[in-house]
Structure 1
Amino acid sequence: MASCEGIQVIMVSLALQGHMNPMLKLAKVLVSKGVHVTLATNDVARKRMLDSKISTHFTSNSSPARLTLEFFSDGLSHEFDRDKDPGTFLASLKANGPRNLSNLITGLKANGNRFSCLIASPFVPWVPGVATQHGIPSSVLWIQSSTVFSIYYHCIKSPNLFPTLENPNQIVQLPGMPEFTVADLPTFMLPFSPPHFRLWLAEFVSVLDEVNWVLGNSVHELEEEAVNSLSSVKPITPIGPLVSPVLLGKEETVEGSVDMWRAQDSCIEWLNKQPPSSVIYISFGSIIMSPENQIHSIATALKNIKRPFLWVVKASEARKHEFPIGFLEEIKKEEWGHVVSWCPQEKVLMNQAVACFVTHCGWNSTLETVVAGVPIVAHPEWTDQPTNSMLLVDIFKIGVRMRKCREGEVTAGEVERCIMEVIEGPGAVEMKKRAMELKEATKKALEAGGSSNRNMDKFITEISTKPCSNNI
């Protein structure tokens, strides 16, 4: 690998937990290899980080490189709820983001920064255009699976490969890929998806023509078919899994975190008191708020199972009325469960007390549970989650998927059935064995000589020699 001395990279992401986490983890990998990194995001993150007393400057104890956070305006106030009105948020970001990011880069260059590459999140497809204006070679960090990348790419470039998307049971067969049903596809491409999501998809795929590299937060050995099938159309280079070193049994070499919500470490103390492989861990990510009927179904199932559980319910203190009457009081009195509003998920998954993970199957959570070797119960809702669920259950074979009833809800009986099948069903031993095999394979990819580590070194070598005109 070429010397990293003096190499500078700027990364751009939305200030969303599921977007910032993989970008920050990639930034830390680059810093550990001697690359200076500036991570830029819309400035609502600044307020959240100040509220949580999180620094915007990180240091490495393994190299002289540094990681700095910078911010640009998306045109909206800090108080605007971007989760509840994503259409307005994305429209404002698209209208104001390019100019404000460009001004930020101009200021950074005036202060002596010379960037060898700009790495963008896929959900800001206008960013590579800003890189071109400044003469900076660009890359995209694809923060979902390589399988989803392939589906999206073919959806725009070869729409004739897809049947009607109205029938959820219709079979879809793409080049070099496993067989899907329409129900397995990412929801952004389906007819019922809001127009702004379908517009993003078209814009993202179209901008790939001006992107020099697509880096994937995945492992070649996990998604070999998808990665190989893309090599002749739009290559993707897996450099994952982008998870915290602590999940890999290593020490953190670059200190710093950008958690948008304060985690409740009390759950780790509680976990440490539980028997090995006894706890059901339940979390559905940082965006979707669980509806009341789902909370009731899960609570009823947990009461019937009567096993220790750790359950993350966002803003749970403000939503006590949505639990069955007396549920929170009962678990507190009997100490057989723990409900929190947020938790340090990677620490939870690596705790020996955890038996299974009831998950929405976001890609970050998918990679974390694979690296931790924890079997899953899949409860996908939207975006890439149905596809990830299919990968976890049908391809990786480390879990089961909940079936919704005709009304689109999951019953307490179904929740109970799935959890018990993963914990002590006839296939439970094989699921756990397979989970441990994938754990070792993903960790090996990041070691010296592993596929992801080699790909990362190759990328750094290429950006160090790629011509650029940073004086534009």
Structure 2
Amino acid sequence: MGMRPHVLVVPFPAQGHVMPLMKLSHRLIDRGVKVTFVNTEFIHAQIMAALPGKGEEHCGIHLVSISDGLELENERKDALELMGTIPRVMPGNLEDLIRKILQEDDEQIDCIIVDTTLGWALEVAVKMGIKRAAFSPYAVGLLALDLQFPKLMEDGIVDSNGTTVKDEVIKLSPGMPDMKTTEIMWNCPDNPITQEIMLGFAFTINQAVKLSNWVLCNSFYELDPLIHDLIPNLLPVGPLLMSNRLDQPAGSFWPEDSTCLSWLDKQSPCSVIYVAFGSMTIFSQHQFEELALGLELVGRPFLWVVRSDLTAGSDIVYPDGFRDRVAHHGKIVKWAPQQKVLAHPSTACFLTHCGWNSTTEGLSMGVPFISWPYYVDQFYNERCICDVWKVGLGLSPDKDGIISRHEIKSKVERLLCDQGIRKNVLELKEIARKSVSEGGSSSKNLEEFIEQIKC
């Protein structure tokens, strides 16, 4: 085939799902693959507004959009509504887009890469005779657990609603943390809406893996070889990182504040606490204030990402006088170029929500973690960080469920004195780097995938 292969990429419409697929798209383009990236109209508009340069070619990626069927922005705040509308409306819209590309542009589509939570997009590809790859944006251990769901139901460990019936410990491989069945993502008895969504995802992911020719994931084989071997057709292609020569952000929904990089340049090596909780975490006002006062109490330089919606109230309200007291050593931004911050020699540790993208970026840059998970998969990632890889410390809430300022100070000080954790994270950094270098496991997997889609 003389023409370069053409791949259509379809992410789930959330920041933590769009970014790794955008990074994968850059890696494919570097290897001569043409990429068309399909967002919902709402997400597409957010990305275009956040991009430094306007235009629908983003470092060689062709950005296009289809409707998710919702008109008003606030409708998207109802997660169940969104979950219901997407599979009803988007398959037809995706099929129309594919037909348009095939007819108008006289283009072939060699493969469609789809987030595992969007099984309907793979069904469209099956119908249209296009090769299919499912992409898992979270830890491989959780993908393996999701694939165990039918068996757990068959064995009477969980019921058809995802609720745990038998309290048991699951350990699919020695490199995986012990997981109690009560801790599994689908078991959210206090939050029936979350449980319904997570259960829907478990069924969809099982279906997506069955419909796919390949399963790609943002991980590397050496992180847990035995878990990787449990999943058929799995190709780990991570850690997915932006290359240094690409200035533009990888599908960020918010403009990145790069002033924090020049601020970091002025700090001492290995002195700064980087604090960022991803795109979804929301704190109560009380907890937000304890966090602020904890950072002040530590007395070290800190860089804190504070989204405008980080607290449950309408506005961000800092403790009285806090901004003035920390002005000489604290930098607060709305959104940061995280990978560059983690790679900066001044960064000492990462206080994080343990999202999978943040976890892989921290590992790849050799930065130890203070873990503060917020929901679903982040609790599993914390267990890997603290108990399996031993590259970080967790925070313990007080009797009221609050992480106190004194707990934050104590754990940061302990972490920065722990040479064992430092050694472990630098070893994993080296393994991660090797995996994506020429001849490394993830690099070879990506080459193999590209060769197969050309056939």
Q: TM-score, normalised by structure 2?
A: 0.91
Match of 1:453 in 2: 443
Q: C-alpha separation between the residues in 1 aligned to 2:343 and 2:203?
A: 38
Match for residue 230 of structure 2? 229
Is the Cα contact below 8 Å between 1:240 and 1:446 reproduced in 2?
Answer: yes
Instruction: Name the SS of the counterpart of 1:380 in structure 2.
Output: coil
Counterpart for residue 385 of structure 1: 378
Is the CA contact (8 Å cut-off) linking 2:38 and 2:66 kept in structure 1?
yes
Q: Alpha-carbon deviation of 1:216? A: 1.0
How many pairs were matched up?
Answer: 443
Q: Could you say which residue in structure 1 is the equivalent of 2:126?
A: 132
Question: Contact (CA 8 Å) 1:290, 1:313: kept in 2 or not?
Answer: no
Structure 2 residue aligned with 1:204: 205
Picking from 110, 116, 133, the partner of 1:116 is 110
Which of 394, 397, 414 is matched with 2:387 structurally? 394
> What amino acid is the match of 1:57?
E
Equivalents in 2 of 1:226, 1:362: separation in Å? 19
Find the residue that maps to 2:38 and give its secondary structure. Answer: strand
> 1:65-464 maps to which residues of 2 (within 5 A)?
66-77=60-71, 79-80=73-74, 82=76, 84-110=77-103, 111-159=105-153, 163=157, 171-174=169-172, 178-182=176-180, 185-192=183-190, 193-230=194-231, 234-246=232-244, 251-252=245-246, 257-315=250-308, 322-332=317-327, 335-424=328-417, 428-464=418-454
The 8 Å contact of residues 377 and 419 in structure 1, kept in 2 or not, is answered as yes
1:13 pairs with 2:11: yes
Kindly indicate whether the alpha-carbon contact (under 8 Å) linking 2:169 and 2:180 is maintained by their aligned counterparts in 1.
yes
Query: 2:242·2:250 contact (CA, 8 Å) conserved in 1?
Result: no
Q: Quick one: which amino acid aligns to residue 245 of structure 1? A: S
- SS of residue in 2 equivalent to 1:290: coil
Q: Per-residue deviation at 1:162? A: 8.0
Distance (Å, rounded) in 1 between the aligned partners of 2:333 and 2:186: 30
Question: In structure 2, how many angstroms separate the alpha carbons of the residues matched to 1:51 and 1:190?
Answer: 36
Describe how 1:55-74 pairs up with structure 2 within 5 A. 55-59=55-59, 66-74=60-68
Measured after TM superposition, the shift of residue 255 of structure 1 is 6.2
Structure 1 Cα separation of the partners of residues 445 and 132 of structure 2: 17
Change (3 A) 1:446 1:20: same
Cα displacement string for residues 215-253 of structure 1 (whole angstroms, at most 9, x for unaligned residues) = 1110001121211233xxx3421011111123xxxx33x
Q: Which letter maps to 2:228?
A: V
Q: CA deviation at 1:319?
A: 6.4
User: Quick check: 2:267–2:346 contact (8 Å CA) kept in 1?
Assistant: yes
> How far has the Cα of 1:367 moved from its partner?
0.4
Counterpart amino acid of 1:362? Answer: G
Q: Is the 8 A contact 1:389 1:401 kept in 2?
A: yes
| In structure 2, distance between residues paired with 1:28 and 1:214 | 18
Counterparts of 2:46 and 2:416, CA distance in 1: 38
Task: Give the SS at the match of 1:203.
Answer: helix
* Conserved? CA contact 2:177–2:383, under 8 Å: no
- Please give the per-residue CA displacement for 1:283-317, whole angstroms capped at 9, x wherever unaligned: 11012223212211211212221111111111179
Is the 1:169–1:181 contact (alpha carbons within 8 Å) kept by the matching residues of 2? Answer: no
Deviates more, 1:112-121 or 1:315-324: 315-324
TM-score by length of 1: 0.88
**Kindly tell me: are residues 5 and 429 of structure 1, through their superposed partners in 2, closer, same or farther at Cα, counting changes over 3 Å?**
farther
Q: Deviations over 1:101-146 (max 9, x none)?
A: 1111111111212111110012222110011121101111111111
What displacement does 1:19 show?
1.0
- Describe the SS at the equivalent of 1:245: coil
Call closer, same or farther: CA 1:457–1:413 in 2, change over 3 Å.
same
State the one-letter code of the partner of 1:122.
T
Q: Secondary structure at the match of 1:187?
A: coil
Deviation digits for residues 187-235 of structure 1 (CA, Å, limit 9, x no counterpart) = 34444443122112212212321111101110001121211233xxx34
Whole-Å separation in 2 of the counterparts to 1:183 and 1:342: 36
Q: 1:222–1:101: structure 2 CA closer, same or farther, 3 Å change rule? A: same
More off after superposition, 340-349 vs 411-420 = 411-420
Q: For residue 456 of structure 1, what is the amino acid of its counterpart? A: L
Please tell me the residue identity of whatever aligns with 2:170: V
Q: Which runs of 5+ in 1 are unaligned?
A: 60-65, 466-472
Query: CA contact under 8 A between 1:184 and 1:390: conserved in structure 2?
Result: no
Report the Cα distance in structure 2 between the residues aligned to 1:183 and 1:399, rounded to whole angstroms.
Answer: 24
What is the deviation of 1:16?
A: 2.0
What's the CA shift for 1:26?
0.8
User: Aligned AA for 1:20?
Assistant: V
Alpha carbons 2:219, 2:239 under 8 Å: kept: yes
Residues 1-53 of structure 1, C-alpha deviations (whole Å, 9 max, x = no match) = xx884211111113322111111111111111111111111111232234335
Distance, in Å, in 2 between the alignment partners of 1:305 and 1:388 is 25
1:39-71 superposed Cα distances (whole Å, 9 cap, x missing partner): 111111232234335432034xxxxxx421110
CA separation of 1:23 and 1:321: change in aligned 2, threshold 3 A: closer
CA gap of 1:184–1:336, structure 2 versus 1, over 3 A, is farther
Q: Report how far residue 413 of structure 1 moved.
A: 2.1
> Aligned-pair distance for 1:186?
4.8
| In 2: Cα distance, 1:142 partner to 1:198 partner | 16
Question: Percent of counterpart pairs with the same letter?
Answer: 28
Contact 1:316–1:340 (Cα < 8 Å) also in 2: no
CA separation of 1:397/1:423 partners in 2, compared to 1, >3 Å: closer, same or farther? same
CA contact (8 A) 2:146 2:205 kept: no
What is the CA-CA distance between 1:436 and the residue it aligns to? 1.0
**Residues 90 and 166 from structure 1, CA distance in 2 versus in 1: closer, same or farther, beyond 3 angstroms?**
closer
Q: Which residue of 2 aligns with 1:62?
A: none
Offset at 1:382? 0.9
Describe the shift of the 1:409–1:90 C-alpha distance in structure 2 as closer, same or farther (beyond 3 A). Answer: same
Tell me how far 1:161 sits from its aligned partner.
Answer: 6.4
**How has the CA–CA distance of structure 1 residues 413 and 259 changed in structure 2, closer, same or farther, with 3 Å as cutoff?**
same
Letter in 2 for 1:118: I
Question: Any idea what the Cα deviations from partners look like across 1:339-374, whole Å, max 9, x if unmatched?
Answer: 111111111101111110000000000000001000
Name the structure, 1 or 2, with higher relative contact order (CA <8 Å, separation 6+): 1
Distance 1:78 1:270, change over 3 A: farther
Q: CA–CA distance in 1 between the matches of 2:394 and 2:129? A: 47
The answer to whether the 8 Å contact 1:184/1:386 transfers is: no
